[in-house]
Amino acid sequence: MEEAVVKTSYGKVRGSTRDGVTAFLGIPYAAPPFGPNRFQAPRPPEPWDGVRDAVEYGPTAPKPGYPKPYDSMLPDPDIPGEDCLNLNVWTPEPGGSGLPVMVWIHGGAFRNGSGAVPIYNGRNFARDGVVCVTINYRLGVEGFANLPGAPLNRGLRDQIAALEWVRGNIAGFGGDPDRVTVFGESAGGMSVSTLLSLDLGLFGRAIAQSGAGGIAQDPDDAMLVTREMAARLGVEPTAEAFAALAPAAIMPVQSAVAAEVAALPDPGRWGATTAAGGMSLTPVLDGDLLARRPEDAIADGAGRDVDLLIGYTSEEFRFFLMPTGLADDLTEELVGAVTTAMGVPPGLPAAYRGHHPDMTPGELMATIITDHMFRIPANRAAAGHVASGGAGGTWMYEFGWRSPVGDLGACHALELGFVFDNLTKEAEGLAGPNPPQALADRMHRAWTDFAAHGDPGWERFDPSARAVKFFDGPADEVVKDPSGGDRELWD
């Protein structure tokens, strides 16, 4: 195994080369967010002398483990240490120049995940001529709680700091800072849509997987969550009081409140914007960094010159209902009550039932919330991006291949192994033992072509025709307005 050394703004790093790809792991892009940096905006890392080894993943941000049965479906390594604001780079040419760059923002409901998740290994992007970067950012209370006395959206600010590091340093790894694509899934896709809406000038292309622009908490709603956690912890709802507690002491309460919000998204208790997303901690409308809901800003022209590829899986919400058995406990009345609490117009469940008379209540619930949280926001973001009239093109995809595992179907997060071309054993929890490699070949190629050339290989999205690339197996087709009858209910 060969070594390679690259100079960054803060010091030299030593990576390792294998099979034509050099990996630099655990490079700090910001100072450890602890001690005086706790609950503060990200600050630059301390420079170092000599050459820093970058051959192992760095510490991950504090986070809980996934509950069963998701812990076996979503490998999520926990690497201890305070220097958790780090990133990883895979490059085919550390001494080269002008290569396209892809920066991955992981998902995990703003509570879990890291750039060290095995399925996010960027080696196969580098194999195909792309410099791939994966990042960590602060999660949960540390990154997203509304804490008086602390800046809001700390995790989002971490993502921006990582993109600024990429702009200033990626040329040393062979990448072109003017050819950056930011991509992410779930909370990462929501982050991509949010970053797109901020017009930062830090990337020219964006891929939002299963996360469009409808998620942003009202600050008062976010404070309801903070006060509930503070009461259970026996502290004041302030940054100073939370800073007196170790992250590990906060985590059980954070997890309990998150589970309650997801299980019963009551707008009366948690606020309408919290209930709508079913997540307790998300980006907050702070009136400063994030002044508007991303989909509204995009419709008004934010990110209009950025190329956008956006999409979802066909049966996203089965992931949240089927493995736990929740789907079996749902009644028609509960479907109506829960969807209404999440902001679905009251008449829609009955209309969906008319379109899908043979579905069980659990299947109906999965279909409605898939549309509410993923398909409809993606369509709105794409239509708004087109209508803005900027230089950026717009493309949409749907991932429809159905997993053989349980009743997952074409569920949330299933496409990840295909996008990264990593159908390894880590992908088996969702995709089973023999997922179709040919589908991964095509999907991975579309992502690399988009990053390299600004065209994933099918016709652009237009609200009048709604062309959607359907990734489903032997032959991927472009479908006009898939599930259009359901979509029209939301108009």
DSSP 158-207: HHHHHHHHHHHHGGGGTEEEEEEEEEEETHHHHHHHHHHTTT-SS-SEEE
Active site residue: 185, 316, 363, 398, which one? 316
How far apart are the C-alpha atoms of 278 and 121, rounded to whole Å?
Answer: 29
* Residue for token pair 């069980």: 360
In a domain, 168, yes or no: yes
To 5 degrees, how large is the angle CA 73–CA 88–CA 120? 25
**What's the number of domains the chain is made of?**
1
Q: What is the pLDDT of residue 1?
A: 61
In a domain, 228, yes or no: no
pLDDT tens digits in sequence order for the chain, 491 residues long: 677 999 999 999 999 999 999 999 999 999 999 999 999 999 999 999 999 999 999 999 999 999 989 998 999 999 999 999 999 999 999 989 999 999 999 999 999 999 999 999 999 999 999 999 999 999 999 999 999 999 999 999 999 999 999 999 999 999 999 999 999 999 999 999 999 999 999 999 999 999 988 899 999 999 999 999 999 999 999 999 999 999 999 999 999 999 999 988 999 999 999 999 999 999 999 999 999 999 999 999 999 999 999 999 999 999 999 999 989 999 999 999 999 999 999 899 999 999 999 999 999 999 999 999 999 999 999 999 999 999 999 999 999 999 999 999 999 999 999 999 999 988 999 999 999 999 999 999 999 999 999 999 999 999 999 999 999 977 789 999 999 999 999 98
CA 145 vs CA 40, 114, 296: distances in Å: 12, 19, 23
Q: Phi/psi of residue 370, each to 5°? A: -55, -45
Output the six-digit token pair for 349.
């469940």
Output the six-digit token pair for 11.
């010091």
**Containing H/E element for 21?**
strand 21-28
Active site residue 412: yes
Q: What is the pLDDT of residue 432?
A: 95
Active site residue: 372, 385, 412, 444, which one? 412
Nearest partner of 186 among 95, 267, 104, judged by Cα: 104
In a domain, 259, yes or no: no
Nearest partner of 101 among 17, 170, 14, judged by Cα: 170
Neighbours of 265 (CB within 10 A): 23
* Residue for token pair 């509950």: 67
How far apart are the C-alpha atoms of 236 and 231, rounded to whole Å?
Answer: 7
Give the 3-state secondary structure of residue 479: strand
How far apart are the C-alpha atoms of 295 and 229, rounded to whole Å?
Answer: 29
In a domain, 400, yes or no: yes
Active site residue: 186, 210, 280, 403, which one? 186
CATH number for 76:
3.40.50.1820
To 5 degrees, how large is the angle CA 270–CA 274–CA 280? 85
Q: What is the pLDDT of residue 3?
A: 79
Q: What is the domain extent for residue 202?
A: 60-80+96-218+283-489
**Containing H/E element for 209?**
strand 205-209
In a domain, 65, yes or no: yes
Active site residue 464: no
Neighbours of 491 (CB within 10 A): 6
The strand pair at 99-105 and 11-18 is best described as unpaired
In a domain, 272, yes or no: no
| DSSP code at position 90 | E
DSSP 294-312: HHHHHHTTTTTTSEEEEEE
In a domain, 337, yes or no: yes
Q: What is the pLDDT of residue 213?
A: 86
Please report how many Cα atoms fall inside a 13 Å half-sphere around the Cα of residue 279, on the Cβ side.
26
Q: What is the pLDDT of residue 46?
A: 97
The strand pair at 51-53 and 11-18 is best described as parallel
How far apart are the C-alpha atoms of 131 and 85, rounded to whole Å?
Answer: 19
Q: Is the dihedral of CA 347, 350, 355, 361 positive or negative?
A: positive
| Angle between the N-to-C axes of helices 348-355 and 361-370, in degrees from 0 to 180, rounded to the nearest 10 | 110
* Residue for token pair 């209404």: 340
Whether the model clears a pTM of 0.95, i.e. scores above it, the answer is yes
Burial class (CB in 10 A: 0-12, 13-18, 19+), 474: exposed
Q: Which amino acid is at 135?
A: I
In a domain, 157, yes or no: yes
How far apart are the C-alpha atoms of 239 and 29, rounded to whole Å?
Answer: 24
How far apart are the C-alpha atoms of 487 and 116, rounded to whole Å?
Answer: 36
DSSP 205-224: EEEEES--S---B-HHHHHH
Provide the residue count of the chain: 491
Alpha helices in 371-466 (DSSP H): 376-387, 416-419, 428-431, 437-453
